Amino acid sequence: MNFDFTEAQKKRLDAIRSIAAAMPPETALISATSEVARKALGEVLDQLAAVGYLRLGLEEDALGGAVGLMAAMEILAGRAPGFFLSVEMSTRVLGRVLVHWGSGGEAHAWLKGLTRGEWLGALALSEETLNVENDALTTTGTRQGQDILLNGRKNYVINGPLADRIGVVGRLDGRTAIFMLDRQARGLTLTERISTMGYGGVHIAGVALSDCRVPEACILIPPEGTPVLDMLRAWENEILLAAALGLMRASFEEARDFAKSHRTGGKPIIAYQEVGFKLSEMLTLYQTAQLLAYRAVWTTETDPKQGASLLWCAKVFGTEAAERVAGDALRILAGQGYRSGSASETAYRAAKWTQIAGMSTEIARVRIGDHALGYR
Q: How does pLDDT run across 301-310, given as a tens digit for each residue?
A: 888 888 889 9
Q: Which domain holds residue 80?
A: 7-115
- List residues bridging with 144 in a β-sheet: 147
**If you write DSSP's letter for every residue of 336-355 in order, what string do you get?**
HHHSTT-HHHHHHHHHHHHH
- Which residue from 115, 118, 88 is spatially nearest to 102, judged by alpha carbons? 115
3-state secondary structure of 86: helix
198, 310: one domain: no
> Which burial class, exposed, middle or buried, applies to 177 when counting CB atoms under 10 A from its CB (0-12, 13-18, 19+)?
buried
Which amino acid, 339? Answer: R
User: What pLDDT sits at residue 105?
Assistant: 84
Q: Is residue 264 part of a domain?
A: yes
> Which burial class, exposed, middle or buried, applies to 242 when counting CB atoms under 10 A from its CB (0-12, 13-18, 19+)?
buried
Neighbour count for residue 80 (Cβ, 10 Å): 24
User: What pLDDT sits at residue 1?
Assistant: 63
End-to-end Cα, the chain, rounded Å: 25
Taking residues 203-227, report their average pLDDT. Answer: 93
Domain end among 56, 90, 115: 115
pLDDT at 2 over 70: no
28, 138: one domain: no
Q: Are 279 and 268 in contact (CB under 8 A)?
A: no
CATH code where residue 153 lies: 2.40.110.10
Q: Which residues have C-beta within 8 Å of that of residue 246, sequence separation ≥ 6?
A: 73, 74, 75, 76, 77, 78, 79, 81, 84
Q: Are 177 and 221 in contact (CB under 8 A)?
A: yes
User: What pLDDT sits at residue 81?
Assistant: 92
Q: What is the pLDDT of residues 228-261, one digit of tens each?
A: 999 999 999 999 999 999 999 999 999 999 999 9
Domain end among 220, 247, 272: 220
Q: What is the pLDDT of residues 55-107, one digit of tens each?
A: 998 876 545 688 989 999 999 999 999 999 999 999 999 999 999 999 878 89
User: What pLDDT sits at residue 103?
Assistant: 84
Which amino acid, 103? Answer: S
Q: Is residue 232 part of a domain?
A: yes
Report the C-alpha gap between 115 and 47 in whole angstroms: 11
289, 194: one domain: no
Neighbour count for residue 357 (Cβ, 10 Å): 22
Domain end among 115, 133, 159: 115
Q: Is residue 360 part of a domain?
A: yes
128, 258: one domain: no
Q: What is the pLDDT of residues 319-370, one digit of tens each?
A: 999 999 999 999 999 888 788 888 999 999 999 999 999 999 999 999 999 8
Report the C-alpha gap between 347 and 252 in whole angstroms: 10
Neighbour count for residue 279 (Cβ, 10 Å): 19
Q: What is the pLDDT of residues 135-179, one digit of tens each?
A: 778 999 999 887 899 999 999 999 999 999 999 999 999 999 999
pLDDT at 275 over 90: yes
Q: Is residue 327 part of a domain?
A: yes
Q: Are 58 and 99 in contact (CB under 8 A)?
A: yes
User: What pLDDT sits at residue 335?
Assistant: 82
Tally of domains in the chain = 3
